[in-house]
Amino acid sequence: MENLHEAIRTSNFRYLTEDAIQTPLSFIENFCYFETEVETFRKDILFFLHAATTRKSDFNGKFYVNSEDYAYNCRQLISVIEVLWVLYHQPIPQLRIPDTHPLYQKSSWATDRIDIEKRINSGAAHFRKLENREINDIGFFLEEFFLYRNLNEWREILDDLLTYAYTNESIFDGTELLYESVAIYEYLEKAVEAIFLIADLNFKYNKSTDDIQTKGDQETNLNPTAQINGITLPNPIQEVPSLDDDTFTNNLIQYLEKFWSHLEESNGNHSYGPVMFTETLEKELLSYFESFHPKFLSRNFRRIYMGYLEHLFANGTPWYYHELRAFTAHMDTFFELLELADQETAHWPQEDRIGWDEN
């Protein structure tokens, strides 16, 4: 291990073997393609986190026994974090992708927000938590992840979570992690996505020189597949339909007529279903703003927000100030959305909306 970074050589790895430390990509390949898959691992980890952060007895005092898999899944997650620690200190070129790469993310929005529709219809559909720049260069996520907590601290958090997963109490009952719960959930779910993204970049999309086809082969095979140890993997690169294709154009027109017809002012019988919203989500949003007047929401959220800012000014900035800075930077957008909701729902019946008479 003499050729490794000092931080790696001086780390005490709990589960990662010396071979995995020397060749982390071999561990990643085996884990991501032969032990589990991204959505299964995500589900296992979220179930584990949910068990640790909730009480396990009902109102009658009945205790619900937890899954025996929690310990195994916790161990797997620690192994993933340990291999990410190795890559953080001993990066490889494939952690950063060019703008011509099929997984490269760029937003059509004014800011670099995630373009949800584009993301879910691309090869990056499983990486819904990672930000655009984190997919384009996973090094950004690794740096933020290990600045938030180092390797030992992440293992301590997971050890605590595992303890509470098997007891009736929630981890929030006996620790201060309640104030970091959202951040911890986000970071750990991103870590799940990160390991599979690294696997895809190095094995699904990165062909060895022996697999490079001739130009003629590429022209006759528009959808080549990648192989790992003889197993064929689907290639997410799809042929882009031409705008001159009559079938494509007609389908596009039908799509727009179906999902965007409600934008016509004369159409009063539109159905739910904007492109980026499911029917359930749109109904819930409409129901919410039918119940609460946007100005009432804006006024009271501002009171809560300003009260918390006063608390910060009086008591100092907490250690998680980087997260707070990112949160407060987007609060203006939140209030702008409430103002837009006020404008767009001004013609609705007002009498049944909470707070309408206070405006």
pLDDT digit string (tens) for 274-328?
Answer: 445 677 777 788 888 888 888 888 888 888 877 777 776 666 666 566 666 666 6
* Domain end (from 185, 210, 233): 233
* Domain end (from 233, 263, 284): 233
Determine, yes or no, domain membership for 207: yes
Check whether residue 144 and residue 205 sit in a common domain: yes
What total number of domains does the chain contain?
2
- Predicted pLDDT at 30: 94
342 versus 217: which is more confidently predicted?
342
Determine, yes or no, domain membership for 261: no
The H or E element containing residue 129 is none
CA angle (285, 290, 291) in 5-degree steps: 100
Residue 235, burial from CB neighbour count under 10 angstroms (0-12, 13-18, 19+): middle
Nearest in space to 96 (alpha carbons), one of 206, 192, 187, 227: 206
3-state helix, strand, coil in the chain (%, to 5): 60, 5, 35
267 versus 113: which is more confidently predicted?
113
- Predicted pLDDT at 322: 62
Q: What is the mean pLDDT of residues 325-346?
A: 79
**pLDDT beyond 50 at 237:** no
User: What mean pLDDT, rounded, does the chain reach?
Assistant: 76
Q: How does pLDDT run across 178-213, given as a tens digit for each residue?
A: 778 888 999 999 999 999 999 999 988 875 333 433
Determine, yes or no, domain membership for 42: yes
| Per-residue pLDDT band at 253 (split at 50, 70, 90) | low
Domain interval for residue 324? 272-358
Check whether residue 313 and residue 165 sit in a common domain: no
| Per-residue pLDDT band at 44 (split at 50, 70, 90) | very high
- Predicted pLDDT at 142: 95
Determine, yes or no, domain membership for 1: no
Nearest in space to 165 (alpha carbons), one of 77, 59, 39, 36: 77
259 versus 40: which is more confidently predicted?
40
Q: How does pLDDT run across 69-102, given as a tens digit for each residue?
A: 899 999 999 999 999 999 999 878 778 888 888 8
Q: What is the mean pLDDT of residues 56-81?
A: 79
Q: What is the mean pLDDT of residues 250-277?
A: 49
- Predicted pLDDT at 192: 97
Provide the H-helix boundaries in 34-123.
38-52, 69-89, 116-120
Q: How does pLDDT run across 130-152, given as a tens digit for each residue?
A: 998 999 999 999 999 999 999 99
In the numeric block, the tokens 């950063």 are attached to 96
Check whether residue 227 and residue 287 sit in a common domain: no
- Predicted pLDDT at 172: 77
350 versus 207: which is more confidently predicted?
350
| Per-residue pLDDT band at 254 (split at 50, 70, 90) | low
Determine, yes or no, domain membership for 116: yes
Check whether residue 53 and residue 111 sit in a common domain: yes
pTM of the model: 0.58
- Predicted pLDDT at 204: 86
- Predicted pLDDT at 72: 93
Do residues 17 and 85 lie in contact, with contact meaning Cβ atoms separated by under 8 Å? no
Compute the distance between CA of residue 58 and CA of residue 196 in angstroms, rounded to an integer. Answer: 37
- Predicted pLDDT at 84: 96
* DSSP string covering 143-170: HHHHHHS-HHHHHHHHHHHHHHHTSSS-
Per mean pLDDT, which of 52-66, 230-244, 254-268, 337-351 is the most reliable? 337-351
Check whether residue 283 and residue 215 sit in a common domain: no
- Predicted pLDDT at 207: 55
114 versus 111: which is more confidently predicted?
114
